[in-house]
């Protein structure tokens, strides 16, 4: 759709291994790292994107002007008039609102804008530019990704977590309010094990489990930076100790 050239570039840059995730795992990993509930809640966002909404809104006043004729004949003028003026006002308000707070919902017309307005107010951020992230009023950033089964999911996370996930190479910045998770659960696991060549980070023997350097219990996240390959024994032995703690023993 509208994600044409940029996302591809982003994925390529952020994930040189080429394992960028289009399609794989499920909210499990993400849910695990971030927070449990990938909710199917984005209908609102989906509704908004309707690309011709602005056009419709702008057209509305005109339509309203011409509408009075036929409609006015059918109904008593009094209430009719009120209604019309109200909807006209709303229609007029809309374009303004979207002009000022287009920040709140850039998705829909991104492609369109790129084509018609080379100097958009919100240029596409670099995939790793966390300073481009501007949370919603509630302080949230939208994170989206793909499940192991190729399903899209999304959830809201707070800005701090979003920044951490981008810094630790688990996600890229899509726009000022959205990041995209780079790995599904399966992808992530395969990525870490391959990267570490199935070699335990602690003892150097064969390993095929994923260990969090900073344990999740202590605030670590499931990211390429915080995760290493470990053998089962080391993984179990380390449990939720800090690396220093574990290596000291
Ligand atoms: Zn080991």
The tens digit of pLDDT for each residue in 32-77 reads 444 444 454 444 444 444 444 444 444 444 444 443 444 444 444 4
Q: How far is the CA of 199 from the centre of ligand 1 (A)?
A: 8
d(CA 180, CA 197): 26
Residue 62 φ then ψ, to 5°:
-60, -45
Domain-by-domain residue ranges, the chain? Answer: 5-47+111-187, 53-104, 196-248
d(CA 118, CA 143): 27
Task: Write down the pLDDT at residue 34.
Answer: 45
Q: How far is the CA of 223 from the centre of ligand 1 (A)?
A: 20
Of 214, 207, 208, 201, nearest to 243 (Cα)?
214
Task: Write down the pLDDT at residue 123.
Answer: 78
Pick among 3.40.640.10, 3.55.10.10, 1.10.287.610, 1.10.30.50: CATH of 196-248: 1.10.30.50
d(CA 241, CA 249): 11
Task: Write down the pLDDT at residue 249.
Answer: 74
d(CA 195, CA 61): 59
Element (H, E) at 99: helix 77-100
Question: pTM score, two decimals?
Answer: 0.54
DSSP annotation of 199 reads: B
Cβ proximity of 155 and 37 under 8 Å:
yes
Task: Write down the pLDDT at residue 120.
Answer: 59
Spans in the chain with pLDDT lower than 70: 1-122
Q: Which residues surround ligand 1, an ion (CB under 5 A)?
A: 200, 202-203, 231, 234
Q: Measure CA of the first residue to CA of the last residue in the chain; give whole Å.
A: 54
């Amino acid at each position: 759709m509208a994600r044409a050239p940029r996302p591809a570039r982003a994925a390529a840059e952020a994930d040189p291994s080429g394992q960028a995730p289009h399609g794989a795992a499920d909210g499990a990993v993400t849910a695990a790292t971030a927070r449990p509930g990938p909710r199917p809640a984005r209908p609102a966002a989906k509704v908004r994107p309707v690309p011709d909404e602005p056009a419709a809104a702008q057209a509305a006043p005109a339509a309203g002007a011409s509408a009075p004729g036929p409609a006015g004949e059918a109904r008593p003028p009094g209430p009719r008039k009120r209604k019309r003026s109200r909807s006209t006002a709303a229609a007029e308000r809309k374009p303004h609102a979207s002009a000022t707070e287009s920040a709140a919902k850039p998705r829909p017309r991104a492609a369109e804008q790129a084509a018609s307005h080379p100097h958009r107010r919100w240029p596409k951020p670099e995939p790793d530019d966390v300073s481009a992230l501007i949370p919603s009023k509630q302080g949230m950033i939208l994170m989206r990704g793909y499940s192991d089964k190729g399903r899209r999911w999304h959830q809201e996370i707070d800005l701090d977590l979003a920044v951490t996930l981008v810094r630790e190479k688990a996600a890229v910045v899509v726009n000022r309010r959205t990041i995209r998770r780079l790995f599904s659960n399966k992808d992530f696991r395969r990525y870490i094990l391959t990267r570490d060549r199935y070699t335990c980070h602690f003892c150097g023997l064969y390993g095929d489990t994923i260990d969090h350097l900073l344990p999740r219990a202590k605030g670590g996240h499931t990211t390429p930076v915080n995760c290493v390959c470990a053998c089962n024994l080391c993984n179990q032995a380390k449990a939720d100790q800090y690396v220093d703690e574990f290596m000291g023993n």
